[in-house]
Amino acid sequence: MKNNLALGILTVAVIILYILHFSSSNNSTSEVASQKTADTTGAKDSCATALKDTVATEPVAINNGIAYVNMDTLLEKYKFAKDINARLLKKEKDARAQLERKDTQLRTDYAKVDERYRKGLMTQTEAKTESERLAKQQQDIQNLSNTLTQNLLDEQKKFNKQLQDTILKFFKEYNEEKHYQAIFSNTSNDNIIYAEKQLNITTEVVNKLNARYKKK
């Protein structure tokens, strides 16, 4: 009997394409009036008054424009993501060990029944009964394997959602200070073909995320 014990676990990864649009302009209008009047003694005519309005518009400059984050590096160095991944891997390891113990015991029981039957220590009817019992155990192990696998996938889905929400919330707060027009996600250079190094804010983001996580 060969029981498939492999419990796959998806790599914790979250690909985030998050664009924040912040554009601000502050129009201030100041009216400057200048008037020049010249009077001539005994003259009936007065000089014309010159009036000129100047409207000054001074938009608030956006500091940085655009930036991007390498998500591979972020997930590799963000301690919360690392802790989640380690937790899931431990659950997978525990589940695998549990199934292996049951499978080993089942193999041992099959071998004992076969040996007793071959030595004539068990009737054909008894052997059939034992075989049916062991077959049910085998099915129970398979059902347990399916359950543990589904539990791991559900756990991973929950943690991925939590991780995504945490990162999105961080970027919203982060950009209230930085005022980027857009922050892009780059994964293995798939999304950004070329960008200047100063547009890569991954290190700063990871440091801030880890600082927040440490406080919590």
- Look at residue 192 in the predicted model and tell me its pLDDT: 87
Identify the pLDDT of residue 20.
33
Reported as type and span, the H/E element at residue 75 is helix 71-77
Predicted pLDDT at 51: 27
Query: Can you tell me whether residue 15 is helix, strand or coil?
Result: coil
Asked whether residue 96 is domain-assigned, the answer is yes
User: What is the reported pLDDT for 167?
Assistant: 95
Q: Is 24 among the domain residues?
A: no
Which residues touch 59 (CB under 8 Å, ≥6 apart)? 24, 25, 26, 27
pLDDT value of residue 109:
96
Task: Enumerate residues 6+ apart whose C-beta is below 8 A from 54.
Answer: 30, 31, 32
CATH number of the domain within which 135 lies:
3.30.910.20
Q: What is the pLDDT of residue 145?
A: 97
Gap between the Cα atoms of 57 and 142, Å rounded:
72
Helix, coil or strand: residue 23:
coil
Eight-state DSSP code of residue 188: T
- Written as six digits, the tokens of 156 are 């991973």
Determine the pLDDT at residue 201.
96
Residue 95 lies in a domain: yes
Helix, coil or strand: residue 70: strand
Residue 41 confidence (pLDDT): 41
pLDDT of residue 191: 84
Residue 115: inside a domain, yes or no?
yes
- Residue 200 maps to a domain: yes
Cα 123 to chain center, whole Å?
60
Question: Could you tell me if residue 36 is inside a domain?
Answer: no
Looking at the domain assignment, is residue 181 inside a domain?
Answer: yes
The tokens of 207 are what?
Answer: 């440091």
pLDDT at residue number 96:
96
Number of domains composing the chain = 1
Give the domain extent around 198. 65-209
Residue 18 in domain: no
pLDDT score for 27: 38
Tell me the C-alpha distance between 192 and 171, whole Å: 19
Low-confidence ranges of the chain (pLDDT < 70): 1-64
